[in-house]
Structure 1
Amino acid sequence: MSRFLFVVPPLVGHVNPAVGTAAVLAARGHDIAWAGPADLVRRLAGPNAHVFPCVPCDPEPDDVGEFAGRTADLKGPAAFQFLWERFLIPLADHMAPRIRTAIEEFGPDIVIADQQTVAGGIVAESLGLTWVTSATTSAELVDPLAGMPKVAAWLDGLLEALRGRIADGKGTADPRMSPHGVLAYTTSALLGPVELPEHVWLVGPSVTDRPASAGFPWEWLDGAERTVLVSLGTANMDASGPFLNAAVQALSGLPTVRAVVADPAGSVTGAGENVLLLPYVPQLPLLARVDAVVCHAGHNTVCEALWHGVPLVVAPIRDDQPIVAGQVTAAGAGVRLRFGRADARRIADAVGTVLDETGGYRAAARAIGRSFRAAGGSRAAADRLEGLLPRPESPPGGHGRGREQERSGIR
């Protein structure tokens, strides 16, 4: 069997898709290791995961840049600049020597590097390894900088300077889009009519079971006419307060709706009896029982909702979220709100719109969900990775296809 090293950032939405793919590979007998935040990976992939610690789950700002100190008022180019200068580039500088150590000690046949751990691709390429990009968001697939050549040139300069520091300038590939292959956890039903190179593989979301959250009061949902989940993700706690309070006010005024609201910062006050406030929720099993989701258009939450055929109200905050929100609305699977102007009335109207069966939002969400399941998800991703492995020698009289290639189905 072969060895696969997954390089991931300290972001739940970027680790979760890799967990599903890694689980399939492990079930097929391959050895799996991780380079990333040890505690987070073991929480999501299981306590026995083989992890080379590259970054703590809750890093100190002086350690690797301002991982969590992102201001809520940054938007557009300012947010993009902050993301790269204060988060992704410092993260890469911090992780690079540890990734090199992980490669030397584990000896992977293939490295799978998340798009936001650019050091993974740069280091792997400099060592002459086969490496694949894990694209856990579709934003880079549509070239978000196509209309901003100066910003694109600025980013190219940052990446080249990084390559010089961590790989002695070796390599030429874009570390966000490996020439060996890109695992894109989406489908054209959500992505839209975008022309992609052949080595970009639309495998669909990698949705897999996660460790159960104890103590969720499932009986609270019994008898609900309609149920709505509200979640802005753990990375947006600095900006979530006003929106979550407006959402709770809106949903408290809808007596036929029960709402589960994830409030990790404890910022919500004055919830009605039909609103359940919790710091964290078991999102996957909950999505099987809700009728709509209100979220920030994070790619992971959007795809998991659509996997279950659940329509969305999306209020993007920053980064890739406006692009993902645009894909949701273009596909007819949800309604978009402006995050900073989403008061209780607007949120209530949007929720009512997506819950109305005559609007076609649920039908569109279910159609996307069917495309996700047909794409294969984690199994298709594992097939693609196995297809990059060297083919074993054929026995006399053989036809040049080894057992692994026959099983993977890659031609």
Structure 2
Amino acid sequence: MRFGIICPPVPGHLHGMMTIGRELRRRRHDVYLLGITDVARHASNGYVDFFAIGTAEFPPGALDSYLNTIRNVNLLTIRKGIDWAGTMCLALCRDGATAVESLGLDALLVDQCQTEGRTISDLTGVPYLSICNALNLEGDESGEAPPPFLPWTPGEGIALRCIRNRLGHRVFASMMAPIVSQTNEFRKSRGLPSIRRWEECISSLGAINNLTQGIDFPRGTQKRPMFYTGPYLDERPNDVPFPWEQLDGRSLVYASMGTLHTAKWHILESIASACASQPVQLVVSLGQWTKDSKTRELPGNPITVPYAPQLALLARAAVAVTHAGANTVMEALSHGCPLVAIPLASDQPAIAARVAWAGAGLVVSPGKATPGRLQTAISSVLQQKSIQLKAEALQQEILEAGGVVAAVNAIETVFRVTTPTTIESP
């Protein structure tokens, strides 16, 4: 088969989709990433082909400019994010349909954050399946599951909680209304009927979810099939340099605060201070702070690197201190590594709430991430056997879920594909 992949142009989503792409290629399917020019390198790294969309709206360099704008979350950057998403939506609807027809695609794999799959499918007749690279965004009319992006708890049959959760889902739907409106303008211009709610853009064939049920909140309603496969990991070569010889045998604390909404510098300082007073060794993946002179000032002389071989370090780590991005959380748990979560933005507070609910770690809000509080949290995670056991139980669940192999099995089942003879991974 010939598959097209559509996802947001940010690393956390692209990494997962390219892992799926590699597995599809291993099974002799043709795979194309449909994206703006700036993400072509991700297609190359994923060993999939590339088709450029939105070249007029998003010239080379547009992505870096946008990401630098939204790193600090406020009302202005949220507005810019919505504007960007609207422009991206129209470009993808237009050029995505062109790509499907010119490439002869048989099916689309569409990140659930992208609403364009429904319109491209309606224009071309090509089916699509939704892929969750973070939380399931579908609403829950029962009020059992809280809305994404908020650190709320499940309803558990408690009336006030359920009412709160239902209202939260309505607020989230209203936030998506501008995208729905722009999509409908495009659909009208192509003679397609309007959609009423953004959720109608999620595939009726179902969604593949990179969480497992043990880490996700229970739901009262689920209108589409949901395939819980766990994180999309593969055995790709590690090409990120790291000074392994500097590890000295102490319990390893690995800290990564993400690639998009990176932590304020004082949070990194607090993490370093918290570890400096304990018998642990800290490794910090700096991200955007790589070239900042302040990196010399972190207390306790931790190992600092621009970007880290994360999976290899998590396999050794006793605890991960993280922004609670879905990828880092699930990669840590896939190694049985408990967490201290400091959620920064987007869906991170909601993912952190799931970590705490599952008992696999502790949560410290950014505003309270002082050295003392972080020292207490890290020490508690290291010493409380119950937290370690929960993380190990989730590790086993992730192993049994099947990961990227199970995800591609589900894709082939949904599209009724007979798998050709596989080839060796590139």
1:232, CA displacement in angstroms? 0.8
- Which position in structure 1 is the counterpart of 2:264? 240
Cα distance in structure 1, aligned partners of 2:174 and 2:265: 34
Query: Greater shift after overlay, 26-35 or 304-313?
Result: 26-35
AA aligned to 2:147 is P
Cα distance in structure 2, aligned partners of 1:71 and 1:20: 25
Q: Which of residues 316, 329, 342 is equivalent to 2:356?
A: 329
AA aligned to 1:278 is V
Q: Which of residues 62, 69, 85 is equivalent to 1:60?
A: 62
1:183 partner SS: strand
1:174 partner SS: helix
Q: CA distance change for structure 1 residues 369 and 175 in 2, over 3 Å: closer, same or farther?
A: farther
Q: Which of residues 124, 128, 131 is equivalent to 2:125?
A: 128
Q: CA distance change for structure 1 residues 297 and 4 in 2, over 3 Å: closer, same or farther?
A: same
CA contact (8 A) 1:79 1:319 kept: no
Cα distance in structure 2, aligned partners of 1:340 and 1:54: 40
Q: Which of residues 196, 221, 229 is equivalent to 2:254?
A: 229
TM-score by length of 1: 0.84
- Which position in structure 1 is the counterpart of 2:135? 138
CA contact (8 A) 1:334 1:361 kept: yes
1:258 partner SS: strand
1:191, CA displacement in angstroms? 0.3
Q: Which of residues 89, 99, 103 is equivalent to 1:102?
A: 99
Cα distance in structure 2, aligned partners of 1:373 and 1:328: 18
- Which position in structure 2 is the counterpart of 1:258? 281
1:107, CA displacement in angstroms? 1.7
1:321, CA displacement in angstroms? 0.7
CA contact (8 A) 1:42 1:49 kept: no
1:268 partner SS: helix
Cα distance in structure 2, aligned partners of 1:383 and 1:340: 43
- Which position in structure 2 is the counterpart of 1:361? 387
CA contact (8 A) 2:208 2:228 kept: yes
1:34 partner SS: strand
Is 1:160 aligned with 2:180?
yes
1:378, CA displacement in angstroms? 1.0
Cα distance in structure 2, aligned partners of 1:79 and 1:194: 33
1:274, CA displacement in angstroms? 4.5
1:83, CA displacement in angstroms? 7.3
Cα distance in structure 1, aligned partners of 2:111 and 2:27: 22
Is 1:275 aligned with 2:302?
yes
1:341, CA displacement in angstroms? 2.0
Cα distance in structure 2, aligned partners of 1:53 and 1:350: 46
Query: Greater shift after overlay, 144-153 or 182-191?
Result: 144-153
Which digits, 9 at most, give the CA deviation of each residue in 1:51-93, with x for residues without a partner? 11236697437x9x9443126353xxx5995475244323323
Cα distance in structure 1, aligned partners of 2:38 and 2:341: 30
Cα distance in structure 2, aligned partners of 1:176 and 1:365: 34
1:189 partner SS: coil
TM-score by length of 2: 0.82
Cα distance in structure 2, aligned partners of 1:379 and 1:57: 35
Cα distance in structure 1, aligned partners of 2:382 and 2:415: 47
Q: Which of residues 90, 95, 104 is equivalent to 1:93?
A: 90
1:47, CA displacement in angstroms? 6.8
1:156, CA displacement in angstroms? 5.2
Which digits, 9 at most, give the CA deviation of each residue in 1:244-267, with x for residues without a partner? 12112222222x211110112235
Query: Greater shift after overlay, 293-302 or 50-59?
Result: 50-59
- Which position in structure 2 is the counterpart of 1:46? 45
Size of the aligned set, in residue pairs, is 386
2:317 partner SS: coil
AA aligned to 1:232 is M
- Which position in structure 2 is the counterpart of 1:399? none
- Which position in structure 2 is the counterpart of 1:215? 241
CA contact (8 A) 1:263 1:277 kept: yes
CA contact (8 A) 2:14 2:42 kept: no
Cα distance in structure 2, aligned partners of 1:100 and 1:198: 24
AA aligned to 1:91 is M
AA aligned to 1:259 is L
Is 1:193 aligned with 2:218?
yes
Which digits, 9 at most, give the CA deviation of each residue in 1:193-244, with x for residues without a partner? 22434512111111123452343111112x322001111111023x431211
Q: CA distance change for structure 1 residues 216 and 81 in 2, over 3 Å: closer, same or farther?
A: closer
AA aligned to 2:274 is A
1:160, CA displacement in angstroms? 2.8
- Which position in structure 2 is the counterpart of 1:26? 25
Q: CA distance change for structure 1 residues 116 and 214 in 2, over 3 Å: closer, same or farther?
A: same
Query: Greater shift after overlay, 79-88 or 348-357?
Result: 79-88
Cα distance in structure 2, aligned partners of 1:140 and 1:191: 12
Is 1:297 aligned with 2:297?
no
1:13, CA displacement in angstroms? 1.0
C-alpha RMSD of matched pairs (Å)? 2.9
CA contact (8 A) 1:119 1:175 kept: no
CA contact (8 A) 1:9 1:114 kept: yes
Name structure 2 gaps, 5 residues minimum. Answer: 139-144, 149-165
Cα distance in structure 1, aligned partners of 2:85 and 2:61: 13
Is 1:4 aligned with 2:3?
yes
Cα distance in structure 1, aligned partners of 2:364 and 2:413: 42
Q: CA distance change for structure 1 residues 38 and 226 in 2, over 3 Å: closer, same or farther?
A: farther
1:340, CA displacement in angstroms? 1.9
CA contact (8 A) 2:271 2:371 kept: yes
